[in-house]
Amino acid sequence: MSVATATVSGRVTPKLSLDRRYLPVIGTVVVFLLMLLVGGVRYESFLSPAVISNLFINNAHLIVLATGMTFVILTGGIDLSVGAVLALSSVITATLLQAGIPLIIVLPVALLAGSVIGLGMGVMIQYFEVQPFVATLAGMFLARGLCFIFAPQSVPIRDQGFVSLTNWGLTVGRWRLTAAVVIALLVVVGALWVLHRTRFGRTVYAVGGGEQSATLMGLRVARTKVLVYVISGTCASLAGILFAMFSRSGYALTGVGMELDAIAAVVIGGTLLVGGMGFVAGSLVGVMVLGLIQTIITFEGTLSSWWTKIVIGVLLLVFVILQRILSLRRT
């Protein structure tokens, strides 16, 4: 680990000493464990394999979204289009499958839709100097509008191949893994590898740490900044396919506001929105924390669903203030 640390941050940290950069992530993990503990004490069968498995199954699409979002936020950008792109890819998948087009063609087309939108936004941001917030907002409106052109109503998926894919699952004892969860976890592992073991990944951190310095160092800043939006768009359309597997349908109004869940997960996961600092693994834990809030409120039974939003808001507040205190102490 210390080798990777040295190359990323440019300074050698002695083994076994705690790097400051890991503090936010460790905080998130502590909160996650505390929530598990509280849930386990309060409710019977909370810490059962079924509950934990469902945590992953219900949030597989959000894991993929948050992973893509982490790339963008690490460069100091933001991507508001992911919720709409998720809907677009699920609608494309459902409509094309209904038209009888084979799965082997449908899936790449749906995936490519997100990449193309991401590429468009990246080019707008990098070459036409449109702010990321505005460019991805336009992408969001574009994708949502396209959804309704494809299918204003919910489209069920009955394709044999797709259904058998959704039914596939690994069961070990009472633990269960669906195809969607496996894909989501593979995406996380892939992202970890790209960010920490490739030149592109290191450039992502460098751009977020200081774009001008990165340019002066001769790094390929422009290419990187466009590519992160392509990655985020592709992740969003992959998440759309996972969501279509989850709901076995495509509907134009899915994923409204899901970009905020993804951003919240990334922030709770300890990634700074100014860029340059954060980890994909943190975002994964962030998604799990969000999912666990939902689970606890379901277990509580008497609490209404809107408490979820309030608790997420309060948690965001606590994390943001803690991060602020941490970064103040460092300077």
Partner 1 sequence: MTRIYKHRLFWPLVALAALLLACSIKRPDILGITVLDGHLFGAPIDILRNSAPLLLVALGMTLVIATRGIDLSVGATVAIAGAVALTFIASSDQPGSLGTALGAIFVAVGLCFLLGCFNGLLVAKFGIQPIIATLILMTAGRGMAMLITNGQITTVTSAPFSSLASGFLMGLPVAAIIAYGVYLVVSILVRRTALGMLLESVGINPEASRLAGVKSKTLVFTVYALCGLLAGLAGLIFASNTMAADANNAGLFIELDAILAVVIGGTSLAGGKFNLSGTLIGVLIITTLSLTVTVLGVSPLVTSLFKAIVVIAVTLMMSTRLRTMLAGLRERRRFQEVSA
Which residues sit at the interface with partner 1, rule CB under 8 A?
78, 80, 124, 127-131, 133-135, 137-142, 144-146, 148-149, 152, 252, 260, 263-264, 267, 273-274, 304, 306-310, 312-314, 316-317, 320-321, 324
Minimum CB–partner distance for residue 51 and partner 1 (Å): 23
Side chain identity at residue 90, one-letter code = S
Residue closer to partner 1 by CB (options 57, 137) is 137
Assess contact for 123 and 67: CB atoms under 8 A. Answer: no
Residue closer to partner 1 by CB (options 187, 263) is 263
Q: How far apart are the first and last CA of the chain?
A: 25
Name the residue with tokens 């709901």. 247
Task: Report helix, strand or coil for 256.
Answer: coil
Helix (H) or strand (E) holding 310, with range, is helix 307-330
Residue closer to partner 1 by CB (options 81, 178) is 81
d(CA 144, CA 80): 12
CA 34 remoteness from chain centre: 23
Helix (H) or strand (E) holding 170, with range, is strand 169-172
Residue closer to partner 1 by CB (options 181, 264) is 264
Minimum CB–partner distance for residue 134 and partner 1 (Å): 5
Contacts of 299 (CB under 8 A, 6+ apart): 39, 42, 43, 46
d(CA 75, CA 201): 10
Residue closer to partner 1 by CB (options 265, 285) is 265
Minimum CB–partner distance for residue 316 and partner 1 (Å): 5
Token pair for 71: 């790339």
Minimum CB–partner distance for residue 41 and partner 1 (Å): 25
Minimum CB–partner distance for residue 306 and partner 1 (Å): 4
Minimum CB–partner distance for residue 146 and partner 1 (Å): 7
What sign does the CA torsion over 228, 230, 231, 233 have?
A: positive
Residue closer to partner 1 by CB (options 49, 313) is 313
d(CA 231, CA 111): 11
d(CA 241, CA 179): 11
Minimum CB–partner distance for residue 145 and partner 1 (Å): 3
